[in-house]
Chain A
Amino acid sequence: MLKQEINELLTQAGPGTPMGEMFRQYWVPALLAEELPENDCPPVRVKLLSERLIAFRDTDGRYGLMDEFCAHRGVSLWFGRNEESGLRCSYHGWKYDVNGQCVEIPSEPDERHSSLCAKIKLKSYPLVKIGDVLWAYLGDPKTTPDLPQWEFARVPAEQSYTSKRWQECNWLQALEGGIDSSHVSWLHSDGLRDDPLFKGAQGNKYNLADRKPFFEVVESDGGLLIGVRRNAEEGHYYWRITPWVMPSFTMIPPRGDHPIHGHFWIPIDDENCWVFTYDYHPVRPLSQAEVQAMKDGKGVHNEFVPGTYRPLQNKDNDYMMDRAAQKRGDTYSGVKGISMQDASLQESMGPIVDRTKERLVSTDSGIIMARRKLWRAVEALRDEGVTPPGVDVTHQAVRSAAVVLPKDQSFIEGCADALRVRPGEKHASV
């Protein structure tokens, strides 16, 4: 349960809001690199943290992210012409470079031209490509943090794959699904049996054999480590450990030699978010079959309405609910695929769930602690200017882990190395 004012504090991420200011301390995933595939390609509308922006890649390969609307008459620059190192408004030909600087006003006399251009600059933000993702920083330029160091974005390109999807609810309830380990045994119980990106791992047997797991939630420098243990062989526990790094990065524990996957949950506005979903292997290229499975929506990815980032299963078609499959036990909820099983239920809560009415139980402790840490960090930033956890790139050097440990060993001790990035070394997985 949360008081309404705290619910609003945590869910509103627009400009000038406390949570919005906190999100503006980080480099956040803004687009997939595939959306701007070549120089002078069409510009892309981007809504991020409740700001309407336009992204483009100029003739020289530089990325720009700026106010979507022309300073002249407020026309959307999405209709613009991306040419000769700038984005030109289709209405009267005003042209802007990647920094939002107006560089051309064709209608003005030559003698006035340069002085007038110099006075016109659209609000712009840095946009950089790291891995498959274009990252944006919407905060104060004076406090621009170091570039992101997340392992999935830093391994060689052939070892990583990222997709994104639009989720039609507030970012926080989507994130909370990512750290709610207790729903997995129910909602996603079908996935372990036949999904090509999960099946065959020894750990799956422990998962399916023990459906009453125990939980341990431990604070970390960047956020939380959420450990879930199940019975394994005599005298041992099977542990699955999920790191959450503030504000919205999660990494799902791996299975066997399958790639590791996870999500970033980024506010579009207060009632919509982008879910960036990555899969990577620390030491080997992804196989063709694995990449194809990801493109086909397996694992934690999903299928799309062609030509869009909207899931094929969405609220307009009732997520293609299949009651017969539900009755047969093929799926627990009747919705196919892990990501859409989550999204369908999270969207059903409404755009921003009323947390004053919920009835949390102790297995929701990960969610409770995540909210508490967000709340504390938002207040510390607002009141004392304290940089929040997760900005420091050392906090980003995390891995999830799936291990079998003796019963008397804590996962913090037993997985101290496994939970850190070790370049060139395989992830800890069962």
Chain B
Amino acid sequence: MSTPATRAPRQPTPGQPTPPQPTLLSSCARAATAAEARYRISYPGFTRRSSRVIALGAESARAVRGMGDRLWGGGHFLMFESAVPGDALLRRAGTGDTALLSEELEGADTVVMVASAGANAEAASVIGDAAATRGIMSAGLVLPVSPGSGAAANEVVAALRPNAMVLVVLRDAADVPEVLSALRV
């Protein structure tokens, strides 16, 4: 026997107007209070993210290398070294050893490319294509261009645009860890 809470709505009688939608009186009003927020269930049920943060050039490599020392939620910090046939060679920020892009993308759910002046368009293309092929979300963070580097932010953005579903152009490199932290890298 069904309880009142699960009872199916009454079917309209043929020839009679459809009854109004059965809505519990003030249910949103009650459900959205601060008092009810206390009853939101809390549990460590989320699987840890598996992010790859990859620097595309020398300047961004310095930023990524520095971040690799911090405590993160499982993200890998890497530097693009070179393209190899059908793949790319990366260097791990912490240990300094090398890895293939294809290996690093196994099990990854997000790839964040970090780029600055002189960003390697080929690197962005190789990584972006590899992520797209595997259905992995790709994002790009564009660091501020150093004065005197001769490069323009637009060139960096242009290199990344076809290869990243989300691009963020920063004015302060200090924001990079905050952005990554917000994404639970």
Contact = CB atoms under 8 A, between A and B. Distances in A.
Nearest to A367: B182
Interface stretch (B54-62, B74-82, B91-99, B159-167): B159-167
B157 A350 contact: no
Interface in A165-189: 168-169
Contact of A368 (B37, B162, B182): B182
B94 to A, nearest CB: 23
B137 interface: yes
A218 B140 CA distance: 12
A354 B39 CA distance: 13
Interface in A244-294: 271
A319 interface: yes
Contact of A369 (B34, B162, B179): B179
Interface residues of A, number: 46
Chain A, interface SS category = mixed
Interface string A48-78: 0000000000000000000000000000000
B184 interface: yes
Contacts of A348: 28, 31-32
Contacts of B112: 362
Nearest to B154: A410
Interface stretch (A104-112, A209-217, A396-404): A209-217
Question: What's the interface size class on B, roughly?
Answer: 35 or more
B182 A362 contact: no
A280 to B, nearest CB: 29
B26 interface: yes
A372 B178 contact: yes
B151 interface: no
Contacts of B88: none
A157 interface: no
Nearest to A168: B32
Most buried by A among B112, B154, B169: B169
Nearest to A221: B171
B104 to A, nearest CB: 18
Contacts of A169: 32
A155 B182 CA distance: 40
Contacts of B169: 216-219
A93 B137 CA distance: 67
B37 A354 contact: yes
B127 interface: no
Chain B, interface SS category = mixed
Given A215-B167, A216-B167, A372 B179 contact: yes
B13 interface: no
Interface stretch (A125-133, A146-154, A296-304, A310-318): A310-318
A323 interface: yes
Interface in B149-185: 154, 157-158, 161-162, 164-172, 175, 178-179, 181-184
Interface string A352-388: 1010010111111100110110001000000000000
A1 interface: yes
A321 B23 contact: yes
B36 interface: yes
A408 B32 contact: no
A169 B82 CA distance: 50
Interface in B1-34: 21, 23-24, 26-29, 31-34
5 contacts: A214-B164, A344-B28, A348-B31, A357-B42, A376-B172
Interface of B: 21, 23-24, 26-29, 31-34, 36-37, 40, 42, 46, 110, 112, 137, 139, 154, 157-158, 161-162, 164-172, 175, 178-179, 181-184
Given A214-B161, A362-B166, 17 more contacts: A1-B181, A2-B182, A214-B166, A216-B166, A217-B169, A219-B169, A271-B34, A315-B29, A344-B28, A347-B28, A351-B33, A359-B184, A365-B166, A368-B183, A371-B182, A407-B162, A408-B158
